[in-house]
């Protein structure tokens, strides 16, 4: 039996005349707006059990999707199932919108649906995943080279709460790579400058600035309610402190570091997976001597490099929150900007690690400044 293809205007006329209009797109697609008065039933659900939705096979039925392909296929399936008055809307919801026919959007979600429309179209994210991002808290240590791009993309992705910790102020030398800040904010605390930039990008999120140097006394307050911790620090004492606190509290730590033209990223999740996932100390049981690891102000760094590494860190954070893909736990991803090559090294949990080995009680925080200087 042939299926009619009709214009959106004709579909609206038939709907007002008593036909049932069914939007066969997925829920995340319908959340972005659907034809007024349409019934939302995903194509797979409709084809699997048409009688549950349409008990009257003689009733006039009009199906609509995004551009017309899925609705036509669903209409043909209904015709084969014995429904004799079925039509599909040519051009779908996209043409319905262009023809200025009435659309409805879930009440109160216009900003949400519009802002995150590209996430909502991804089956791996969808509305449920976007709500998880919205409810998540990420602690970002450092609002500098790594924290800037990472925080920007986490804010854009809709992470509901970003807690930024940095005790420094904006300096002109920062602007070559620390994209959260501007020339007009030189001398402004970095956490305040970051808050202004992030809230301007996405005013629906909450940005909490902690203008404090991270110490053993305040680190747990910083990360206690965080779903993920992002390490944007530029010194070894903070890296070791963050690692130990994340192991103790069972928080995944997304690590990143840059040096001249090279960077590296990993996920340390030993606190939740003892004996299986390594921690930072499994990779670096002891810090290198200071002369072997100068910071950016001493050795220099290619300005775009922290952007690459920070965006990779943000990617890992989003994956961890959503529970999708394969995180970098147990893998160290190294990037050489001059050769434009990535290299991956497998990491193993150290059974003798003093912090994360199974059954080993937390040894307590140490004097990290002395540890890293010795």
CATH of domain 4-104: 3.40.250.10
Which pLDDT score, from 0 to 100, does residue 106 have?
66
Does the pLDDT at position 108 exceed 60?
no
CATH 3.40.250.10 maps onto the chain at 4-104
Mean pLDDT of 278-286: 93
Does the pLDDT at position 222 exceed 90?
yes
Segment 18-61, tens digit of pLDDT? 999 999 998 878 877 899 999 999 999 999 999 999 999 899 99
Segment 319-358, tens digit of pLDDT? 999 999 999 999 999 999 999 999 999 999 999 999 999 9
CB atoms within 10 A of CB 109: 14
What are φ and ψ of residue 286, in 5° steps?
Answer: -135, 145
> If DSSP codes are grouped into helix, strand and coil, which group holds residue 264?
strand
Q: What is the DSSP letter of 333?
A: E
Percent of the chain with pLDDT over 70: 96
CATH 3.40.50.720 maps onto the chain at 136-373
Query: CA-to-CA distance for 154 and 79, rounded, in angstroms?
Result: 47
Which pLDDT score, from 0 to 100, does residue 31 have?
78
Segment 225-262, tens digit of pLDDT? 999 999 999 899 999 999 999 999 999 999 999 999 99
Does the pLDDT at position 138 exceed 60?
yes
Cα dihedral 178→182→185→190 (10° resolution): -20
Query: CA-to-CA distance for 337 and 341, rounded, in angstroms?
Result: 7
Which pLDDT score, from 0 to 100, does residue 166 have?
96
Query: Which pLDDT band holds residue 107 (cuts at 50, 70, 90)?
Result: low
Segment 206-220, tens digit of pLDDT? 999 999 999 999 999
For 326, the token pair is 């394969």
Among 226, 222, 198, 200, CA closest to 211: 222
CB atoms within 10 A of CB 306: 29
What are φ and ψ of residue 208, in 5° steps?
Answer: -110, 120
Radius of gyration of the chain (CA): 26
Contact 287, 240 (CB under 8 A): yes
Which pLDDT score, from 0 to 100, does residue 205 have?
95
User: Across the chain, what does the average pLDDT equal?
Assistant: 93
Does the pLDDT at position 130 exceed 60?
yes
Most distant CA atoms of the chain, gap in Å: 84
Q: Pick the residue with more confidence: 111 or 79?
A: 79
What CATH topology corresponds to 136-373? Answer: Rossmann fold (3.40.50)
Query: CA-to-CA distance for 60 and 204, rounded, in angstroms?
Result: 43
């Amino acid at each position: 039996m042939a299926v009619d293809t009709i214009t959106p205007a004709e579909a609206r006329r038939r709907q007002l005349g008593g036909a049932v209009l069914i939007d066969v797109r997925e829920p995340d697609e319908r959340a972005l707006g659907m034809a007024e008065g349409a019934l939302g039933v995903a194509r797979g659900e409709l084809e699997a059990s048409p009688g549950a939705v349409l008990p009257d096979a003689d009733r006039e039925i009009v199906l609509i999707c995004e551009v017309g392909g899925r609705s036509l296929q669903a209409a043909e399936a209904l015709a084969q199932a014995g429904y004799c008055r079925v039509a599909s809307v040519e051009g779908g919801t996209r043409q319905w919108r262009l023809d200025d026919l009435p659309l409805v959007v879930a009440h109160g979600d216009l900003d949400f649906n519009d802002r995150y429309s590209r996430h909502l179209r991804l089956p791996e994210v969808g509305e449920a995943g976007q709500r998880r991002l919205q409810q998540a808290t990420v602690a970002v240590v450092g609002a500098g080279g790594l924290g800037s791009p990472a925080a920007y993309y986490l804010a854009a992705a809709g992470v509901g709460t970003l807690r930024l910790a940095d005790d420094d102020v904006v300096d002109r030398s920062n602007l070559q790579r620390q994209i959260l800040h501007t020339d007009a904010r030189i001398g402004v605390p970095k956490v305040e400058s970051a808050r202004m930039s992030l809230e301007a990008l996405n005013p629906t999120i909450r940005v909490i600035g902690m203008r404090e140097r991270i110490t053993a006394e305040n680190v747990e307050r910083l990360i206690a309610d965080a779903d993920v911790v992002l390490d944007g620090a530029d010194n070894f004492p903070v890296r070791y402190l963050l690692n130990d606190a994340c192991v103790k509290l069972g928080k995944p730590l997304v690590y990143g570091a840059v040096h001249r033209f090279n960077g590296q990223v990993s996920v340390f999740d030993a606190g939740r997976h003892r004996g299986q996932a390594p921690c930072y100390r499994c990779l670096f049981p002891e810090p290198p001597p200071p002369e072997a690891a100068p910071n950016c102000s001493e050795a220099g760094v290619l300005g775009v490099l922290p952007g690459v590494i920070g965006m990779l860190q943000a990617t890992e954070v989003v994956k961890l929150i959503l529970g999708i893909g394969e995180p970098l736990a147990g893998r160290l991803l190294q990037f050489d900007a001059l050769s434009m090559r990535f290299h991956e090294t497998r990491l193993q949990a150290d059974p003798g690690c003093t912090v994360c080995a199974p059954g080993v009680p937390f040894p307590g925080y140490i004097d990290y400044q002395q540890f890293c200087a010795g």
